[in-house]
């Protein structure tokens, strides 16, 4: 299994226990660290010099007026032999299909790939796919046996998306200065105590889970999957580096039981639906 981590600005390359880096771009749905085209060209060369692979995050929903610029952007980087592209919009597939390079693509729609049949459609097209974060451990174990499967291993889960600029609308309503992108902020529901991270960029508004999702020690049971994704967006540098070290220890078979509990408490890490199905799916089973 290869481990890919978000590359955070200001963190030295040698701090990461990973096989490759996820690089944010102007065509990312959201990325805390977005790199310009020139920065990407430099970083990709540096990564390859250090024997690290590169995954470009180009998972935004692309508008028709953007397609030409998107294709120019991809063409500008093509000679740098990027290993993978994390995508959601099918304009990306069209570009790489025409160049017979769809094997570089990883379809990333983590709430959609909920069963084996969905995944097979993607794989028949020659691509890999990220398994849903709403699957139980039993379902993940069954589906991750396919070597073309990719796991969302760690990070905040995106649970809401809107093209509306919700933070800007709120700030305008309360007469605050409008200057997006805003720092990460939090929502609190009237009847719940949890804080939900909310983030707005020039594309949309995103709301995330009130906890950090992590496979933790259960990763060892899923190591037949091809790639593990560790998203560092909105995590502290310390959190990201510690969790990468932890997953490295899991994969090499070290005893991490005490360390796991410490990290879960320190960073409020939860296992999501690994041990409990979504309520709607429980009702279907009855």
pLDDT-above-70 percentage for the chain: 93
Lowest mean pLDDT among 25-29, 112-116, 174-178: 112-116
Residue 184 lies in a domain: no
pLDDT band at 280 (very low <50, low <70, confident <90, very high): very low
Residue 21 lies in a domain: yes
Residue 191 lies in a domain: no
pLDDT-above-90 percentage for the chain: 71
* Segment holding 150, helix H or strand E: strand 149-162
For residue 61, what is the domain's CATH number?
3.20.20.70
The DSSP bridge partners found for residue 55 are 22, 84
Residue 195 lies in a domain: no
Contact between 182 and 167 (Cβ < 8 Å): yes
Question: The pTM is what?
Answer: 0.92
Residue 196 lies in a domain: no
Residue 48 lies in a domain: yes
Judged against a pLDDT cut of 80, whether residue 121 lies above it is answered with yes
CA 101 to chain centre: 22
- Domains contained in the chain, number: 1
For the segment 57-112, what is each residue's pLDDT rounded down to a tens digit?
999 999 999 999 999 999 999 999 999 999 999 999 999 998 889 999 999 987 77
Lowest mean pLDDT among 17-21, 36-40, 100-104: 100-104
Q: What average pLDDT is seen over the chain?
A: 90
* Greatest Cα-to-Cα distance within the chain, rounded to the nearest angstrom: 55
Q: What is the mean pLDDT of residues 237-253?
A: 96
Residue 174 lies in a domain: no
Domain span including residue 126: 2-156+212-285
Residue 145 lies in a domain: yes
């Amino acid at each position: 299994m290869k481990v890919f981590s978000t590359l955070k600005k200001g963190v030295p390359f040698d701090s990461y226990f990973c096989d490759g880096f996820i690089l944010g771009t102007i065509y990312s749905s959201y990325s805390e660290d977005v790199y310009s085209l020139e920065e990407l060209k430099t970083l990709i060369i540096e990564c390859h010099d250090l024997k690290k692979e590169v995954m470009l995050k180009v998972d935004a929903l692309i508008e028709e007026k953007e397609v030409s610029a998107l294709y120019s952007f991809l063409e500008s980087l093509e000679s740098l032999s990027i290993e993978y592209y994390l995508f959601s919009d099918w304009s990306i597939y069209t570009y790489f299909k025409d160049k017979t390079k769809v094997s570089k693509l990883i379809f990333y729609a983590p709430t959609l790939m909920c069963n084996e049949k969905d995944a097979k459609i993607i794989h028949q097209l020659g691509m890999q796919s990220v398994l849903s974060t709403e699957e139980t451990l039993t379902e993940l174990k069954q589906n991750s046996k396919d070597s073309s499967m990719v796991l969302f291993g760690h990070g905040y889960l995106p649970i809401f998306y809107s093209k509306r600029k919700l933070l800007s609308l709120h700030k305008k309503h309360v007469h605050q200065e409008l200057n997006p992108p805003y720092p990460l902020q939090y929502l609190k529901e009237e009847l719940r105590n949890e804080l939900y991270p909310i983030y707005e960029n020039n594309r949309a508004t995103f709301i995330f889970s009130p906890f950090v999702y992590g496979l933790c020690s259960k990763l060892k049971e899923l190591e037949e999957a091809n790639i593990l994704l560790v998203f560092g967006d909105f995590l502290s540098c310390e959190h990201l580096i510690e969790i990468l070290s932890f997953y490295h220890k899991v994969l090499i078979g070290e005893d991490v039981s005490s360390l796991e509990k410490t990290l879960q408490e320190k960073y409020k890490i939860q296992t999501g639906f690994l041990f409990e199905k979504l309520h709607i799916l429980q009702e279907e089973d009855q």
